[in-house]
Amino acid sequence: MRLHLIGGALLALVASCGGGETAEQGTGSSKTMVVGFAQLGAESNWRTAETRSVQDEAQRRGVELKFADAQGQQENQIRALKGFVGMNVGAILLAPKTETGWDNVLADVRKKNIPVVLLDRGVKVADESLYTTLIASDFVEEGRKAATWLVGATGGKCRLVELQGTVGSAPAIDRQKGFLEVLAQHPGMEVILSQTAEFGLAKGKEVMEAFLKAKPKEIQAVYAHNDDMALGAIQALEAAGLKPGVDVLVVSIDGGKPAFEAMAAGKLNCVVECSPLLGPLAFDALERLQRGETLPKRIVVEDRVFTAAEAAAELPNRKY
Ligand code: GYE
């Protein structure tokens, strides 16, 4: 089945070369790969950087990219996938909003033998052969790293709040899982409030304001599942007359330039890196498929931990 799928995938990539007209004329001169990218939206600095990375890399390699921004709605992403099938694209890149709800549409895509590469987030499907590979960071490990840093910084004693990412998304589920796994070994660490702020800055600020109202004077640290929510929380802390990074520790995941600036200013204490610059990896994978190679089911992007002390030196290296 797997071999059959890979063979079919190769056929599909070749079939779309050069678009209909050239292919029908049989000149064989053009080898343009046509790829559909079903992006989930633009909720964060991370995501717009990912979009740019994929678009830039497509251009660099002469790939024709069909880009669809689902504006945060899974229904739109499903519609985009169906549209790509209608266009008979050679391959699909999918950054799925949530883990579930993909079985039917991926089965439709498979009927046309179009390979699907999951970019940045994973899915839960009954049949794993519905996608070719997942290129993403290990979100559980990111959660563990954030927790390990916070345990170290607080001596294992801390009352903290958690700003969760999009409900049902792989990074929100896994970043909480890894974090709580480490906290379970440290009874002095207590999550006193936890809520989603949908990976957004404005929402992060709003939820943090509500947290501060609910538990004034009790919050010692913030764990945010991404930079944007951490930056929103920092604004809320400052508006409440508190010093983020000093009165209340802040740790986040992603590691974009704005977060490094906040770290250099002493307002954010630690960032677990998660790279959005996935364009080169995505097209490397598609080219390998095109050559008939079998890809591993999972391509893991490595992440580092940065603390405030390293921020100023690292700032010029941040690409987004
Ligand atoms: O951390 C967050 C974004 O899926 C890894 O989505 C990605 C996450 C990223 O909105 O900023």
45 CB less than 6 Å from ligand 1? Answer: no
Residues 6+ apart with CB under 8 A from 202: 232
Same domain, 74 and 150: no
Residue 66 covered by a domain: yes
Q: How many domains does the chain have?
A: 2
Percent of the chain with pLDDT over 90: 89
Q: Which amino acid is at 77?
A: Q
Cβ of residue 97 lying under 6 Å from some atom of ligand 1:
no
- Give yes or no: residues 202 and 310 share one domain: yes
| pLDDT band at residue 304 under the 50/70/90 scheme | very high
* Domain limits for position 176: 139-274+306-317
Instruction: Give 37's contacts (C-beta < 8 A, 6+ positions apart).
Output: 54, 58, 65, 66, 67, 68, 92, 93, 94, 95, 119
Per-residue pLDDT reduced to its tens digit, 142-201: 999 999 999 999 999 999 999 999 999 999 999 999 999 999 999 999 999 999 999 999
- Assess whether the C-beta atom of 171 lies below 6 angstroms from ligand 1: yes
Neighbours of 7 (CB within 10 A): 12
Are 233 and 289 in a shared domain?
A: no
Residue 44 CB less than 6 A away from ligand 1 = yes
168 and 254 share one domain = yes
Whether residue 3 lies inside any domain: the answer is no
Residue at 146 is within a domain: yes
Phi, psi of 177 (to 5 degrees): -60, -50
- How high is the mean pLDDT of the chain? 92
For the chain, percent of residues with pLDDT exceeding 70: 90
State pLDDT tens for residues 6-16. Answer: 334 444 454 44
Q: Which residue has the higher pLDDT, 30 or 264?
A: 264
Within this chain, do residues 124 and 79 fall inside the same structural domain, yes or no? yes
User: What confidence category does residue 30 fall into, taking pLDDT thresholds of 50, 70 and 90?
Assistant: low
Considering the domain architecture, whether residues 238 and 219 belong to the same structural domain is answered as yes
Work out the average pLDDT over 229-236.
98
* Residue 30 or residue 177, greater confidence: 177
Instruction: Say whether both 158 and 287 belong to one domain.
Output: no
Q: Which tokens hold the place of 232? A: 């929103």
Q: Are residues 82 and 179 in the same domain?
A: no
Same domain? 149 vs 262: yes
Residue 4 has pLDDT above 70, yes or no: no
Mutate to test the pocket of ligand 1, among 274, 300, 302, 320 (most ligand atoms within 8 A of CB): 274
Query: Which residue of 254, 257, 301, 320 sits with most ligand 1 atoms within 8 Å of its CB, as the best mutation to test the pocket?
Result: 254
**Six-digit token string for 26:** 């049989």
- Inside any domain, residue 60: yes
68: nearest Cα among 31, 29, 105, 95: 95
Among 39, 46, 223, 301, name the best residue to mutate to test ligand 1's pocket (greatest count of ligand atoms within 8 A of Cβ).
46
Contacts of 120 (CB under 8 A, 6+ apart): 50, 95, 135, 136, 137, 276, 278
Number of neighbouring beta carbons within 10 Å of residue 296: 9
User: What integer pLDDT is reported at residue 50 of this predicted model?
Assistant: 98
Considering the domain architecture, whether residues 115 and 219 belong to the same structural domain is answered as no
Atom 8 (ligand 1): residue with closest C-alpha? 171
Both 218 and 250 in one domain: the answer is yes
Answer yes or no: is the C-beta of 43 below 6 A from any ligand 1 atom. yes
pTM: 0.91
Same domain, yes or no: 153 and 165: yes
